[in-house]
Amino acid sequence: MQMGQKPVPGYYGFRIYFLSTILYFFLVIPFLMFLAFQRVPAIAEKANLAGGDGRAGAQLRMVAPDSGMFYSQEAIDSMIRESVPAEALAGEAQEDSVKNETGAGFRPHVTVGNEEHQETTIRFFEEKGPFEIYFRLLFYLLIISFLAGLFFNLPFKRYLRLKRREKKIPGKLRAYCRKYLFFTPVVNSVIITLPNLVIVVFSLVYIIIGQRFPGDLERDLFIQFFYITLVATLLEFLFVYFWQRHRIHIKYIEHFFTETELREKVFRRKRGMIRNRLMMASGMTTFLPLLVVLVYLILSLTSIKDLDMDVFTREQAKILIGPMGTFMNPDQEILAADKFSMLFYVNAVDSIIMIVGIATGIMASLIYLMLFIKWTNQDITGPVKELLTNIRNTREGEPGQYAIVRTNDEIGELAEGYNQMTRKMKDYLEDISRMNRELEQKVKERTREVVMQKEEIEAQKEEIEAQLDLATMQRDTISQQKDLILDSIQYAERIQSALLPPTTYLSDILKDHFILFRPRDIVSGDYYWTTLRGDRLMIAVADCTGHGVPGAFLSMLGITYMNEIVNRNESIRANQILDELRDFVISSLHQTGSRGEARDGIEIALCIIHTGTHMMEYAGANRPVYLVREGATREAGSSGRDHSLIQIRGDRMPIGIYEQEVVPFTSQEIRLQENDSLYLFSDGYVDQLGGPDRKTFRSKRFREFLLEIREHPMEVQKKLLSERLEQWQGNVEQIDDILVMGIRI
């Protein structure tokens, strides 16, 4: 792959810092506003607005000491007026702008006016209080962290700028960037979150000391705000880390290292795993939105005990418990409050605030989720597409195609193995060509000498014998080269096996089952796939175009995309999985349907079994499913007495491009019964040549044999199927990959 053809990207430093900080405040500020708004009645009570002491009026306001501007909120005024007795509202509410002597920040005030225009002011943010210190200190630390980030990232930015302008790069700058490039995700994450960590420690110390809080109200608010900042700090760290890591693997790595270096791993740490990355992405897509909704919901709940009432009227009780109030005793007008003490409710104002807060939090969560999913998808599909392109070019006769080892996981290990195999094959071909040229030249020289000097015929004979010895040596060399190539393919088989569901995992979710899996070559174009999502058991058997190494690469692509589809939508239907898988395959293989283009694709049978209802969804692409059931309509020509075989056919089109118009796949629903047996299989078993006339085994003979062995346990059925295949095959070689999966309900 020619890396020089790709444009040199710009280095993201300030952009990542700025956006991560914005998202941090986008999560924290709505929570703070929500908590502050909830405590308006408590502030009013602290100001003795509900004391009934004859004061004439009240109003809560936000005062900007530096500007002298009032920020009144009618909704808050209404709440306070409803909480104050009528005699306390006889006067007029007086508003006054209070200017802070230190000139720092906004402070909410509660002002109470009486006949003599006296006022009592409660400062929600006490002067030099925790919130003012918190945000002031955070502001200064953020400036320092931005400057530290600029100092750390400036060499990388300068390096790419010089490379983009095709100028000479100093040796020290190159050495620095190559040494610290893979540390930038962690270092940048620490730099941008270090101010938050310092603030967290400050908050914890402030909470433990607790002497500078004006009261319990401010302390409770600050403690809840402290928990929110912990979650937001963790998200900010992950956001910066994954973004910077994605940029390094996909955008930067080929511009800091040479093409020769990138044929092998240049990472300093141990190999990672795709599974861990997918698990983290799946966890983020479920945990973060649920956490936002749960926090706002819990904060919006109000206990009945907080009303501080001994009894309820019949109308008040109906308001609290809703339609269930119709079951109350009609003669009982007064109800004891202790009957409702265990209940919670959400008042009208809190419900509006809760909805607005949830919407704001989910918006921020969606930004995180979309970016995390995008980076995870590109980190997996990008290197796979590059590897497939190199394989396609090699197959079309372009030797010396090398892939960039971008990631430190299974895909990177696969790319490294491919590069080693390509290098060895190229060296072997060059050695053979060189030796053939040398041999040809020597034969010409010896022939010319024989023509010129007949007396040297004997000497020429000895020379020819020497050449025969050389040819024998070449044959031995080629045999050794073949062994090395087989070693590389066997290593690829280990990688493919790692992507298939482990035997222990299948034993946990499929109690009575078997898998008969016989690749024709070392690696296989057939694969099986199983996963359990809630009460939905998903099972698939697929047959990719070709076999050996090309089929194995396509099968690994299919497994990766099916996992990605299910992780994005666990409730997706069977036909929708095939539709999205087809779109992925066509896009990844760059299929356009033009004449002469390769028709690579996948044939698959996919079943989704609802374990609670035994309802099965089935969708297939050129592959059927056999269902053996007691008392069903018998298959024509079958010899079963009590059991029959039902053939469930799929759609007659593959996963990939083909000559007809692309239409959506269809889904069939079948209710399963106890002791039903399902059989999913590729075409390798029924297409195997053998028998006395060297014919294919055929589907009809396969169905009849399944009915014969139906009552045996699944493991015994596997053994019988294997023995029957060997008996039929005889001395004929295996012509295709063979995969049969049996499941008993």
Residue 54 has pLDDT above 60, yes or no: no
Q: How confident is the model at residue 50 (pLDDT cuts 50, 70, 90)?
A: very low
Mean pLDDT, residues 385-413 taken together: 72
Q: Give the integer Cα–Cα distance in Å for 335 and 297.
A: 28
What is the side-by-side order of every strand in the sheet holding 513-518? 513-518, 738-744, 677-681, 625-630, 643-648
Residue 703 has pLDDT above 90, yes or no: yes
pLDDT tens for each residue of 588-611: 888 877 776 777 899 999 999 998
How far, in whole angstroms, is CA 215 from its chain's centroid?
45
Sorted by where each begins, the domain ranges of the chain are 48-119, 409-495, 500-744
Residue 120 has pLDDT above 80, yes or no: no
Whole-number pLDDT of residue 397: 65
* DSSP track, 236-259: HHHHHHHHHHHHIIIIIHHHHS-T
CB 110 within 8 A of CB 46: yes
Buried b (16+ CB within 10 A) or exposed e, 465-491: eeeeeeeeeeeeeeeebeeeeeebbeb
Q: Give the integer Cα–Cα distance in Å for 169 and 155.
A: 11
Percent of the chain with pLDDT over 70: 72
| Average pLDDT over the chain, rounded to an integer | 75
Q: Give the integer Cα–Cα distance in Å for 706 and 717.
A: 8
| Both structure tokens of 213 | 């809080």
Q: Give the integer Cα–Cα distance in Å for 562 and 528.
A: 11
Q: Give the integer Cα–Cα distance in Å for 227 and 200.
A: 9
How far, in whole angstroms, is CA 617 from its chain's centroid?
25
Closest CA to 619 of 643, 571, 655, 645: 655
Q: Give the integer Cα–Cα distance in Å for 441 and 437.
A: 6
Question: Residue 690, SS3?
Answer: strand
Q: Give the integer Cα–Cα distance in Å for 135 and 149.
A: 20
CB 579 within 8 A of CB 572: no
| Both structure tokens of 468 | 């025969």
What interhelical angle do 574-588 and 548-568 show, nearest 10? Answer: 130
CA distances from 207 to 38, 216, 223, 226, 416 (A): 21, 11, 7, 9, 53
Q: How confident is the model at residue 270 (pLDDT cuts 50, 70, 90)?
A: low
Q: Give the integer Cα–Cα distance in Å for 418 and 412.
A: 10
Percent of the chain with pLDDT over 90: 20
Residue 61: CB atoms within 10 Å? 19
CB 108 within 8 A of CB 92: no
Whole-number pLDDT of residue 218: 63
CB 696 within 8 A of CB 712: no
| Both structure tokens of 660 | 């007809």
Q: Give the integer Cα–Cα distance in Å for 740 and 622.
A: 15
Whole-number pLDDT of residue 37: 67
Query: Phi and psi (nearest 5°) for 27?
Result: -85, -40
Q: Give the integer Cα–Cα distance in Å for 386 and 253.
A: 14
CB 405 within 8 A of CB 265: yes
Whole-number pLDDT of residue 738: 94
Whole-number pLDDT of residue 682: 93
Amino acid making up residue 64: A
pLDDT tens for each residue of 317-374: 777 776 666 666 666 667 676 766 677 766 666 676 677 767 776 777 777 777 777 7
Amino acid making up residue 698: R
pTM for this prediction:
0.45
- Work out whether the CA dihedral 725, 728, 731, 734 comes out positive or negative: negative
Query: Phi and psi (nearest 5°) for 357?
Result: -65, -45
**Range 500-744 classified under CATH 3.60.40.10:** yes
| Both structure tokens of 655 | 């996963």
Which range of 209-223, 289-303, 545-559 scores highest in mean pLDDT? It is 545-559
Whole-number pLDDT of residue 429: 73
Q: Give the integer Cα–Cα distance in Å for 308 and 633.
A: 71
CB 403 within 8 A of CB 389: no
CB 353 within 8 A of CB 34: yes
Name the one residue in this structure whose structure tokens are 């996919």: 606
Mean pLDDT, residues 423-431 taken together: 75
Q: How many helices (H) and strands (E) does the chain have?
A: 18, 20
pLDDT tens for each residue of 445-485: 777 776 777 767 777 777 788 888 888 888 878 877 777 77
Question: Residue 713, SS3?
Answer: coil
Question: Residue 362, SS3?
Answer: helix
Q: Give the integer Cα–Cα distance in Å for 382 and 250.
A: 8
Name the one residue in this structure whose structure tokens are 């269809």: 666
Closest CA to 63 of 116, 127, 115: 127
pLDDT tens for each residue of 173-213: 888 888 888 888 889 889 888 888 888 887 777 777 755 55
Question: Residue 540, SS3?
Answer: strand
Taken as a whole, the chain contains a residue count of 745
Whole-number pLDDT of residue 626: 96
With left for phi above 0 and alpha for psi between -120 and 50, is residue 528 left, alpha or beta? Answer: beta
